[in-house]
Amino acid sequence: MKLTKIEGVYQQNDKIFTENLESCKGIKVYNEQLVSYKNKEFRSWNPYRSKLAAAILKGITIKIEKDVNVLYLGAATGTTVSHVSDIVKNGIVYAVENSPIAVTNLINVSQKRKNIIPILGDANHSDRYSAIVSSVDFIYQDISQRNQPEIFIENTERYLKKDGNGMIMVKARSIDVSLKPKQAYEIVCSKLKEHGLEIIKTIDLAPYEKDHAAIYISI
């Protein structure tokens, strides 16, 4: 098991892992594999279940460390959120999800993982969770809606710190079914740039996710 370029993300053969939180030893969140190594426990991170794992395996290096606070939009049942919670073990993950059913599962996950704050909310209305969320170092968004760039821009403007970073996972067909994926990614990138965000890297997530890209930004 060796550390990758990203603090808190490890690699063994062709698989990546995060180190399970001390309070969660022996506990799985989905059907991931638990591997013990030198008195630590690691959770396998499936790139077919998590676009962030796919982006990392495709070579993206993100600035996310153990003390970082994260705003996670489109948290679903907590699959990727749980790995982010492993990485930012001394930070907080504000996990916003608008499906009450998914949030029920997310609440279960957060009961053992004290650094996750589940929020039942609509990311289109970033003002509605301002009583809970403070400014963050990293914003991650995985919401397949046509207005996904606008949602991301609104949240970065309200919550991202001046030297912060973020990542938006773009589903090309949600932007416009008539466009080629690359054209859809370009539309998103120009909207982000218009609002002063700098595009660090765009990575296509194939073969893990077809017609999806990860766009990594800084402010």
Q: Please spell the DSSP secondary structure of 35-92, one letter per residue.
A: EEETTEEEEEE-TTT-HHHHHHHTT------TT--EEEES-TTSHHHHHHHHHTTTS-
Which DSSP symbol is given to 132?
Answer: T
Which residue in 18, 20, 46, 50 binds ligand SAM (CB under 6 A)?
A: 50
Q: Does 144 contact ligand SAM by CB under 6 A?
A: yes
Q: How many whole angstroms separate alpha carbon 35 and alpha carbon 186?
A: 40
In the chain, which ranges are continuous DSSP H helix? 51-57, 79-87, 100-112, 148-159, 172-175, 181-194
Closer CB to ligand SAM, 37 or 94, in the complex? 94
Is 118 a binding residue for ligand SAM by CB under 6 A? The answer is no
Q: How far is the CB of 38 from ligand SAM (least distance, A)?
A: 28
Single residue of 20, 44, 69, 80 touching ligand SAM by CB under 6 A: 80
Using CB under 6 A, pick the residue from 98, 128, 174, 200 that binds ligand SAM. Answer: 98
Stretch that binds ligand SAM, among 6-14, 55-63, 120-128, 180-188 (CB under 6 A): 120-128
Given 55, 60, 70, 96, the residue binding ligand SAM (CB under 6 A): 96
Among 19, 86, 137, 142, binds ligand SAM (CB under 6 A): 142
- 108 part of the interface to ligand SAM, by CB under 6 A: no
Residue 6 makes contact with ligand SAM by CB under 6 A: no
Q: Is 143 in the site for ligand SAM (CB under 6 A)?
A: yes
**Counting contacts by CB under 6 A, is residue 99 touching ligand SAM?**
yes
The one-letter amino acid code at 18 reads: T
Angle between helix 100-112 and 79-87 (nearest 10): 30
Least Cα distance to 95 among 81, 109, 83 occurs for 81
Residue whose C-alpha is closest to residue 203's, from 29, 62, 23? 62
If one asks whether residue 67 binds ligand SAM (CB under 6 A), the answer comes out as no
Q: Which residues bind ligand SAM (CB under 6 A)?
A: 50-51, 73-74, 76, 79-80, 96-99, 102, 122-124, 142-145
